[in-house]
Structures are given as C-alpha cells and as structure tokens.
Chain A
C-alpha cells in the first residue's frame, strides 16, 4: 500500500436523522438469570438497539481494527450529520483513537426522534467530508516539506464511508452527484490554500442500513467510476449482525488485511480448572503475512475455510506448544500487527493475555503430507502483538565457510571478553523526544561519536597490549575516553598514574607481551617502559579533547621521566624497542606469529627471568632486521646509541664497508653538506628570488 493511497484518509459520515432512532428489531436478552435465582422472578424484557447504535458500534469496530493494525498514519475523521454537520475529531495524530471518537459520540448523543425530518439531511455530512479530505494531514505536510521541489509526489486521496438510510436508488444517485459536485467545488477552493490539497481520488462507500424484517428499497451495486475523481459503491445491509460482518469485510478490503485462525489453543475450562479444551481464535493482520501461501498456491493446503454465510476466508494455523525463548534470533521475514476479530471473547483474551505476558507461540502450517512446518510466530513487543513470518524454505546461505577459516580466523588471543565489556558500555537507549532538540547532533550520531572516542586506541589481541591486561590501569582507561572530565576524574587518573609509579618502584611484574623478541623477554625496566609508552599513546589520542585530558597526559609525561643513570641504562634497550614498535605497526605476519608463541613461552619464563638480573640486550641470537629500514634512517638512529653501548659485529662490519665505499666515489653535494642527514632541495629558487616561490608568483603580477 502506498503511503498516500486512499487508505491514508477515511471519513465516516453517519446519519443522525430522526429515522435512525428507529429500532433495529434485533433483540438482546440482558436479563440472563442463573438457575438458582430464577424462582418467582419475571425476567425483564429484552432490549433492542436503534439503527444509530448499530451504525455507531459497527463503525467503531472498524476503527478499532484499523487503529490496532495501523496505529499511525491511517487516519479517521468522524462526522455526524443531522440538521447540520458535527465533526467529532480532526486529522491530528493526537485526536486519532477509539477513546477520542467515543467521547465525541457521547457528546452528540442518540438522534432526537422529535426533530423535524425535513431539516435533517446526510448531505451536510457529505459536504463536510469532502471539505475534510481537502485538509492536509500532518504526514502530508511533513512529506511535502521534506520533498521540497518534488512535493507534488505527495498525493491526496481518501475514502468516505457513509452510513445512512436512503429512500431509493434515485436518492443514492443524488448523493453520488452531490459528492462529485462538491469535490469539484472544493478542489477549486483548495488550490488557493497552503493547508489544503485538491482531491485526486475519492472512494465513496455508501451503506444503506434498514431494520431487520423489512425489505430494502436500495439495491447493492459494485464499485463503479462516476468520474476520474470519484468511484462509488453501494451496500444495502440489515442492521445488527449483518452490518457488523459487512464492515469487517470492508475493513479487510480497504486496508489489505487477511484473517488467520489459530486452532488447537489449549485453554483451562472456566468451570473445571483441571481439564482443558482446545479453542480457536481468529486474528486479522496485513495480508502479506500470507504472501508465501498465496504465491505458492498453497492457500488451500494451509487450511482455508469458507465460513457459513460469509464470503470471508481464513487461513488456519496450528498452535505449537511453546518452546521458543527470547534469546533465540529467528529468521523472520515479516512482522505484522494483529487485531482479534472478537476482541473480548474469552478465548481471544486468553490468547492475547498469554502473549502480552511475554511468551511467544510458534505456529504450524497444517500440511496434507504430514510433515511439520513452522511458518509463523506470535509474539508481543511492548504491549503490541505481532504475527512474525518465519522462513521455512531452504536457505541460500547454507554451509558457509566458518569465520575461523577466513581472515584473522587463526588468531587465538582476541580480547573477546574486553570487547564484550566494550559492547555493554556502548549499548543504546531510546532518548525521549524532549531531549533531542537540546543536543546539536541526533542521538545516533552521538552514539557513533562515543564509539569513535572509545576506539582511538584499542588493540584487538591480548599480546598487543600491556595496559589493558593490567587491573591497575582500568580506572584511567575508563575515564580518559569520556568526552569531558571532572576534577575528580582527573584526580582518579592521576592516582592511577602514581599507583603505576609505585608499582615500578616496587618492581612488580607486568603482564607484558613480547611481540617481536625471541627467546628471552624484555627486562623488567624495559617492560615498564613499554607499558608507559602504551599508556602515553592511549592518553595522547584524547589529550586534545580538553585541558583536563591534557593534564592527565602531562602527569604521565612528568611521572615517567627517570633519573639520568636509569635513563642511560634504558637507552641500551631502545633499539630493541624501536624494532618492536615497528613490528607492531606493520603487524608483519611472521613476527606476530612468533610474537604470540613467544608470549606463551614468556609466561612460563617471566619469573625465572626475574632472578637473572642482567641480560645482554643485543645478544647474537636476536639479530637486527637491518634490511627492513632504509639505510639513511638507520644511520640516523644508530650513531649516538652505538657510541655508548657495546657494538655488534654486524654494525662494525657495516660501518667499515660504508667507510670503504665512501672513498670510492665522490659524495653527493647534498649529502656532504647535509644537516642531520637532511638537505633542502631547490634552494636556488629561494636564493635567486630572495623570497618564496609562491609569493614570487603573486609579486610579479
């Protein structure tokens, strides 16, 4: 159904003329006496509803079903007509609902039988109905505003359901002509107004109501086109049960509904609590819930039954004893709101209450072959019941390769638990409309911004991180990702840092990983350096957020600076760390692989190593991956370090060769006169012009 089909706007026009106060002659026995009290009491006479009461309660039932299944944007405007028209509500969303309509109907009251019939006419109501169809709804307004230059895509169509008592076929023609004329007239008026739209299509449904036991003076007529703007159909119906059935069929036709009967519902008997009988409950819902049956021509197999006296069809589905739970994610191809046809019958309310209490029921499609196919599920969400359509066909995605066979599938030390914690922190919650304007961004954009902050530094595997394996860092790590910090937060972060300093002084062991190193892991002070580096990396990514964030970074920088002699000892180990950093950045396959193998080994070794106080860093068993960096940059780092620490054989050899080679050719001018191995190119441009090239371009003009 299109957004702006004729079903977007429905106007009910109900006749409130004196004639409608006539009895429908369908009698209801109110005084149903129980056996024990029957003696000596004369039962009261049965009551009968007036034509008006019949019309009103059946139209309200139509609205009840409509509002149950389309709680939004399928709108009803209710108009009552006697010597004038009474409009009970508007298209506004807050005025949609059976309660609002009932309140309006109560204020109108039943028709006055003593009013002069000559003054009264349904035409007043039909005029108001056409006028009302021209009035723009909130949805039409919103969409027109949103579409801007293509606003003409928003159509204005509607339906008028008129419940009246017509005199004859001729008077029916008269009503149709009147509606047609009024549309043309009102369309002209609408053209000059912002709040109105011309009617492009109108469907008139005339229901002629007459008392039981009388002959009808008006004949049925199927839908026919009066003009390109107007179609009309006439139904001549007896008041009471027949009218209710007719409107039930119409609401299904008008809103693409279909009927499902749930059979075999086990229910405790009212009288005998220990026995249970099986009941059936009929539900209405959008017909797409039967799409699979209709397409496959399975409709008959699924148990369609044509019920007596009516042309109504219903698909039968069998109740399966509940065995589904809420944490199961079913493959569901559609979910449609339902409305029970007989809402306050005992079986219906038993079923709906069962579902509203949070339980779900699987439904089985009865098949002749006897194989059991679960095709639907009934489930409630927030006080609304939905019929879910479950996929029962073969899946095109069957037997996919497992995720462990693909990229990243062989890595075994993912921080699954940590990421789980991360997901819990990044769960979502509805933000009430009230707060939405107060933020600049939509809540969902703020959720994305939070994810961005939380992932600025987030190593995916355990062996890539030290700080996230340390309980002591948790308070800081949790706080630093916040958008704003309080003074108290900064204090907590600082305390965390001091605590780490303390740990370092006490030489507490760290859960360090040894990516890139072979054999023995790094020494304890080395480990702390790695930890501090990582912590600094984490905090740096947030430092720009606020002064308080910056203060946390400052605190770390201040605390980690070491007395000179300690610093010197560290320098010897720096080269190793460079290599590690590089390995981390490149994520090179071999090193990673060995990395986590080593980290496993390290866990066993770490205590033993504590006793071995001195380990030679540049031991021959961990050679330099020299070829991985351009020569220039290695040279840049090496000399100051080499001067202080022991020099490896390879370095000595390389240096010697370099010196020897350099004698064999003339050094490039640039390299010879470079500062720190850097030389500015195209200096002559500057020299010649005495100014920047860019500026020169301007000046010469």
Chain B
C-alpha cells in the first residue's frame, strides 16, 4: 500500500515553539524531525513501501514521486522552503491526481497529512471548503472521498487543546469522515517539543507501519515470515458480520492444488512472503540505521545459509506448477505460489481470497477439500491424467443447456425451422425431430402459448401433404402422429398437456 506524505509548508508552520532551552524551534522543524523518524523506520523495517513526498501551501508540488529511496525523501525534507497560506482542498486534489496517475483507482493508498492545525483563512481554507462543498457542481466536487481506498492519517504539530479552541479539530474530523473514515488524527500530547513529536510519530508507526510477522506452517515444517504489505482486516457484510476479520499470525498450509485447477482465481490482495531470521532484533525506532547497514550484509549472509522452509516450498511450487492453499483464519483461505517478475527474479507470494469457505465456485467449499489418500481411488488418476476440479454446479447455466427464449421473433422462427428441417429428413432424423418438437412443446405449454402448438401442427400436416413420392412411408406416419399430439396438447387438457410428458415416435415396422 503506497504512502503519500503531504507536508504543510505554509507560513504558519514557521511559528516558533516556545522552549525553556536556548535553541528555538519552528513547528516545521518538529514536523521534519517526526517525518525523518518515520522514513528511518520504513527504511529498516518497511523498505518495500513506495513513498512520495508532496509539499503544499496555496499551491502544491510533488517533491519526490513514489520511491523506495528513503535517502532521497530525507534529503528533500531538509530542503523545504516556506510559502504562503494553507489550502488543503487543492492539495488533496493534487494527491488524487498523483496517486491515480501512478497506481490507478483500485490500489489502496495511505495519505499522511502533516500540518499544524491552522487550516487557512477565507477562500481556500478548509472551513470554507467544507461549508461550500454541498453547493457545487459536478466539475468542482470536493476531492474526498478519493476514488481509491484511502487511509488518512492527520499528524498535527499541535496539541488537542489548541485545536479544540478553534473549530480546527471539528474540521479535521469532518475531513477524516469524508475520506471514508479509515484513518486517525494524531496530536502531540503535552508540550510541543522533540520528544512529543517523536511520541506522536511513534504512535503512527505502531498503528500503520509495524511489519506483519507470522509463522508459515506446513505440518511440522515452518518458517518465520514477514507478510508485505500488511494484510488489512476485511469486513464481509457490515450488517451480518460487522466485525472486521484479520489474518491470523499462524498461516497454515492445508494442501496443494495444480495451477490449472485453481485457474486465475479472483483475490482481494497480494502479498510478498519473506522469510525472516528468528532471532534478528527488530529495531523499533530505527535509530542508528547507519551502523546497521554495515553489519547487516554479514548477518543476512549468515541467514542465507540456513535452510529455510519458504525457499524449499517456493522451489517446489515453481517446478511443479502448483499452489499451496493456506488457511488465514476461520473459514478464510488464500494461496501461496511462486511469482516471477520480468528480471528472472522470483518470489513466494500470497494472495488472499474473499473470506468464507466458498470463495471459488470451481473448488467448491474449501473446508470440504480433503486429502486424496482418503478417496476410494486417486482422483488425479494413476498417471495424473485426470483432475477432480473444476467442481461442476448442480444445475447448468442457461447458456449451457439449450434454453428456449422466444422474446425475439427470430428465436421462435429458428426453433420452428429446426423442426421443419428435421421433418423433411424423416425417418433418418426421427430422434432429433422429436427432441426439438418436445422442446417447443414444453416451452409453449409453460408460456401458455397454445396458438403456437396449433400452428406448428398445421405446418407439420402441410409438410405431410407435400412429401415427395420418393419419401419413406414412415415420414408420413410420424408427421401426422406428431401433428395430432401437438393439437391434443393445445387443448390444455391435463392428460395431454402434462409438462413432463414427451411425445414419443410412433411405433412402426416397415421391415417386413
């Protein structure tokens, strides 16, 4: 889930923070300090996250577009300049454009808005935007909610009391609500100082950027893994099951399936599954990153030489062209597979299915999948020539079962012509003739279309009179028999108009 940091560089951010010490800080310095801490944390614990940095005042500017180069982000932070007034609406419009251009509108995105809680004055201020948003045309709509799923974190370099003295807090809450409600407003607890801002960003890191660690199990084989990006809790149906479901930290493989059988299933999200060394200390705050960088290669080299289950699993999945079904929680499943990118690198990837036991109709209920050893005979055949998948639905769909639809005249005409065509080839086509005839009869009875039965009976009788001399004598018998049966059906009398009854060919014997 990419992150976009939206940094307020309006003049109010340069307000000095009153401190007892000799050194004087601006709010901007505090904000930059906090962001540096966030970037350091990400560089060491969340380094696959793409992050962009955007500065705004009355205008906005994308300083660093989405990147994993956290040095570049920190460098840009150190070169911030000061501009005029805060105008959040136009900045949010910018966010919307930038994110959609890069990731489209389906990819969830986290937006970290860093501001001091003074939200502008007059036109362009957040207050003004919120007041006028209901009276605007479609072309000037307020940018929230974004088209993409959003988590909005508002980092205020101010404390809650200060924000509540004005309507700033209400406006920010309104903003969070408009974005879809997913996110949080963070304020500094206690006096404005380095410590306070550290604590605030620490809370953001715990809330949104703590790595997701889990154990991948396959029976007694297991591996510690990091799942990236973090799997987010999912709400199935907010009425019946309002509690969001979270992925368990124990990922249990339940069995294996061929790629052709799982067949490009729909997934709600994709994640890298990265094996991690068990006893490696996780640096929570990310201080001293430089020391670590020097040490890490040797540490990771050591870890590289220990056999790891993920690598074994990945290798075999890739060679065999299979996926592992993995249980993520009660009645929730996903799949593990090898994913190769264009550069010949490949990785163990996990995709999550929709929660529930039957996310893929062609696998049936996943809880009802059992080991092949318990089947009476191997469902894959002794030579792997068969497969128990896909599971067939009990009832065929309309397009797979030759349904009768006469809404368009052409549908009806085609069906009548089919009967006549076969009628002319009697007795060779006796079976098809009666099959088509019975299909028409059934539909006509269901639709209460007795007039059609009479007309087709007439048509068959006419065919009978027009039979050429060369025709087989059976043809005439069958045609008049069929015509008579249709006429009986058209009376609607129950003994002749039974839906489940079929007209059977007249029994004739011309062999003697």
Q: Is the CB of B106 within 8 A of A333?
A: yes
Q: Is the CB of A411 within 8 A of B308?
A: yes
Which A residues lie within 8 Å of B325 (CB)?
A: 428
Q: Is the CB of A105 within 8 A of B447?
A: yes
Q: Is the CB of A111 within 8 A of B448?
A: yes
Which A residues lie within 8 Å of B91 (CB)?
A: none
Say whether, besides A41-B462, A295-B106, A335-B266, A400 and B367 are in contact (CB < 8 Å): no
Provide the bound-state CA to CA distance between A163 and B303, in Å. Answer: 72
**Interface of chain A: mostly helix, strand, loop or mixed:** mixed
Which A residues lie within 8 Å of B337 (CB)?
A: 329
Which B residues lie within 8 Å of A4 (CB)?
A: 239-240
**B307 partner, pick from A393, A399, A414, A417, beta carbons under 8 A:** A414
Which B residues lie within 8 Å of A262 (CB)?
A: none
Provide the bound-state CA to CA distance between A241 and B407, in Å. Answer: 7
Q: Is the CB of B254 within 8 A of A428?
A: yes
Provide the bound-state CA to CA distance between A598 and B221, in Å. Answer: 26
Provide the bound-state CA to CA distance between A443 and B327, in Å. Answer: 13
Provide the bound-state CA to CA distance between A153 and B237, in Å. Answer: 11
Over the window 589-604 of chain A, the binary record of Cβ atoms lying under 8 Å from chain B Cβ atoms (1 yes, 0 no) is 1001100000000000
Which A residues lie within 8 Å of B308 (CB)?
A: 406-409, 411, 460
User: Which B-chain residue is minimally distant from A96 (CB atoms)?
Assistant: B395
Over the window 252-296 of chain B, the binary record of Cβ atoms lying under 8 Å from chain A Cβ atoms (1 yes, 0 no) is 111111111011111110111011110000000000000000000
Q: Is the CB of B1 within 8 A of A396?
A: yes
Provide the bound-state CA to CA distance between A453 and B414, in Å. Answer: 61
Q: Is the CB of A49 within 8 A of B449?
A: yes
Say if the beta carbon of A695 comes within 8 Å of chain B: no
Q: How far is the CB of B174 from chain A (nearest CB, A)?
A: 23
Which A residues lie within 8 Å of B322 (CB)?
A: 423, 427
Q: Is the CB of A429 within 8 A of B341?
A: no
Q: How far is the CB of A508 from chain B (nearest CB, A)?
A: 28
**B316 partner, pick from A404, A423, A442, beta carbons under 8 A:** A423
Q: How far is the CB of A601 from chain B (nearest CB, A)?
A: 18
Provide the bound-state CA to CA distance between A32 and B349, in Å. Answer: 60
Q: Is the CB of B413 within 8 A of A377?
A: no
Q: Is the CB of B48 within 8 A of A397?
A: yes
Q: Is the CB of B48 within 8 A of A414?
A: no
Q: Is the CB of B275 within 8 A of A408?
A: yes
Which B residues lie within 8 Å of A404 (CB)?
A: 311
Say if the beta carbon of B385 comes within 8 Å of chain A: no
Provide the bound-state CA to CA distance between A424 and B371, in Å. Answer: 10
Q: How far is the CB of A110 from chain B (nearest CB, A)?
A: 3
**A385 partner, pick from B148, B262, B310, B399, beta carbons under 8 A:** B399
**Which of A60, A106, A356, A400 has the largest count of B CB atoms less than 10 A from its CB?**
A106
Q: Is the CB of B393 within 8 A of A344?
A: no
Which B residues lie within 8 Å of A334 (CB)?
A: 266
Over the window 309-348 of chain A, the binary record of Cβ atoms lying under 8 Å from chain B Cβ atoms (1 yes, 0 no) is 0000000000000000011111111110101101111001
A-binding segment of B32-40, B182-190, B372-380, B503-511: B372-380
Q: How far is the CB of A367 from chain B (nearest CB, A)?
A: 14
Provide the bound-state CA to CA distance between A560 and B11, in Å. Answer: 85
Q: Is the CB of B366 within 8 A of A408?
A: no
Which B residues lie within 8 Å of A108 (CB)?
A: 448
Q: How far is the CB of A174 from chain B (nearest CB, A)?
A: 27
Say if the beta carbon of B165 comes within 8 Å of chain A: no
Which A residues lie within 8 Å of B50 (CB)?
A: 396
**A295 partner, pick from B147, B264, B396, B450, beta carbons under 8 A:** B147
**Which of B107, B255, B389, B393 has the largest count of A CB atoms less than 10 A from its CB?**
B255
Q: Is the CB of B400 within 8 A of A450?
A: no
Q: Is the CB of B404 within 8 A of A47?
A: no
User: Which A-chain residue is minimally distant from B2 (CB atoms)?
Assistant: A396
- Interface size class of chain B, counting residues whose CB lies under 8 Å from the partner chain: 35 or more
Provide the bound-state CA to CA distance between A274 and B285, in Å. Answer: 71
Say if the beta carbon of A419 comes within 8 Å of chain B: yes
Q: Which of A84-106 contact B (CB under 8 A)?
A: 97-98, 102-103, 105-106
Say if the beta carbon of A292 comes within 8 Å of chain B: yes
Over the window 304-342 of chain B, the binary record of Cβ atoms lying under 8 Å from chain A Cβ atoms (1 yes, 0 no) is 111111111111110111111101000000000101010
Provide the bound-state CA to CA distance between A41 and B466, in Å. Answer: 10
Say if the beta carbon of B181 comes within 8 Å of chain A: no
Say if the beta carbon of A3 comes within 8 Å of chain B: yes
Say if the beta carbon of A436 comes within 8 Å of chain B: yes
Say whether, besides A30-B413, A424-B256, A393 and B315 are in contact (CB < 8 Å): no
Say if the beta carbon of B207 comes within 8 Å of chain A: no
Q: Is the CB of B459 within 8 A of A44?
A: yes
Q: Is the CB of A444 within 8 A of B311?
A: no
Which A residues lie within 8 Å of B450 (CB)?
A: 110
Provide the bound-state CA to CA distance between A419 and B320, in Å. Answer: 10
Q: Is the CB of A342 within 8 A of B455?
A: no
Provide the bound-state CA to CA distance between A403 and B263, in Å. Answer: 24
Q: How far is the CB of B68 from chain A (nearest CB, A)?
A: 8
Provide the bound-state CA to CA distance between A379 and B450, in Å. Answer: 40
**B310 partner, pick from A57, A407, A422, A444, beta carbons under 8 A:** A407
Q: Is the CB of A407 within 8 A of B277?
A: yes
Q: Is the CB of A29 within 8 A of B413?
A: yes
Provide the bound-state CA to CA distance between A47 and B276, in Å. Answer: 76
Q: Is the CB of A343 within 8 A of B448?
A: no
Say if the beta carbon of A171 comes within 8 Å of chain B: no
Provide the bound-state CA to CA distance between A292 and B103, in Å. Answer: 11
**B256 partner, pick from A57, A98, A109, A428, beta carbons under 8 A:** A428
A-binding segment of B13-21, B73-81, B119-127, B356-364: B356-364
User: Which B-chain residue is minimally distant from A349 (CB atoms)?
Assistant: B399
Provide the bound-state CA to CA distance between A397 and B238, in Å. Answer: 30
Provide the bound-state CA to CA distance between A53 and B106, in Å. Answer: 45
Q: Is the CB of B455 within 8 A of A47?
A: yes
Q: Is the CB of A154 within 8 A of B221?
A: no
Say if the beta carbon of B191 comes within 8 Å of chain A: no
Q: Is the CB of B264 within 8 A of A64?
A: no
Say if the beta carbon of B405 comes within 8 Å of chain A: yes
Q: Is the CB of A444 within 8 A of B305?
A: no
**B372 partner, pick from A3, A295, A349, A427, beta carbons under 8 A:** A427
Q: Which of B385-416 contact A (CB under 8 A)?
A: 388-393, 395-400, 402-414, 416
User: Which B-chain residue is minimally distant from A482 (CB atoms)?
Assistant: B373
Provide the bound-state CA to CA distance between A265 and B307, in Å. Answer: 52
Say if the beta carbon of B492 comes within 8 Å of chain A: yes
Q: How far is the CB of A681 from chain B (nearest CB, A)?
A: 31
Say if the beta carbon of B348 comes within 8 Å of chain A: yes
Provide the bound-state CA to CA distance between A405 and B297, in Å. Answer: 10
**A106 partner, pick from B148, B367, B373, B497, beta carbons under 8 A:** B497
Which A residues lie within 8 Å of B374 (CB)?
A: 431, 443, 446
Q: Is the CB of B107 within 8 A of A154?
A: no
Which B residues lie within 8 Å of A394 (CB)?
A: 102-104
Q: Is the CB of A47 within 8 A of B451?
A: yes
Which A residues lie within 8 Å of B263 (CB)?
A: 326, 379, 381
**A53 partner, pick from B271, B370, B409, B447, beta carbons under 8 A:** B447
Which B residues lie within 8 Å of A328 (CB)?
A: 259, 264
Q: Is the CB of B397 within 8 A of A397?
A: no
Provide the bound-state CA to CA distance between A116 and B264, in Å. Answer: 60
**B446 partner, pick from A29, A106, A427, beta carbons under 8 A:** A106
Provide the bound-state CA to CA distance between A452 and B217, in Å. Answer: 10
Provide the bound-state CA to CA distance between A455 and B220, in Å. Answer: 5
In the complex, 18 of the A-B residue pairs with CB atoms within 8 angstroms, ordered by the A residue number, are: A2-B237, A3-B239, A57-B447, A103-B499, A292-B106, A296-B100, A339-B397, A344-B402, A345-B410, A383-B396, A388-B264, A401-B347, A424-B256, A429-B379, A429-B388, A430-B391, A448-B219, A453-B219
Which residues of A are at the interface with B, using a C-beta cutoff of 8 A? Answer: 2-4, 28-32, 37, 41, 44, 47-50, 52-53, 56-58, 60-61, 64, 67-68, 71, 97-98, 102-103, 105-111, 143, 147, 153-155, 241, 244, 291-292, 295-296, 326-335, 337, 339-340, 342-345, 348-349, 352, 356, 377, 379, 381-385, 388-389, 391-394, 396-411, 414-417, 419-420, 422-431, 433, 436, 442-444, 446-448, 450-456, 458, 460-461, 464, 482, 587, 589, 592-593
Shortest beta-carbon contacts, A-B, top 6: A408-B308, A443-B370, A110-B448, A455-B219, A393-B104, A382-B390
Q: Besides A352-B400, A442-B367, 19 other CB < 8 A contacts?
A: A49-B447, A64-B405, A71-B393, A153-B242, A241-B407, A335-B265, A344-B405, A396-B2, A406-B274, A407-B300, A407-B310, A408-B311, A409-B304, A422-B316, A427-B372, A428-B255, A428-B369, A453-B219, A589-B302
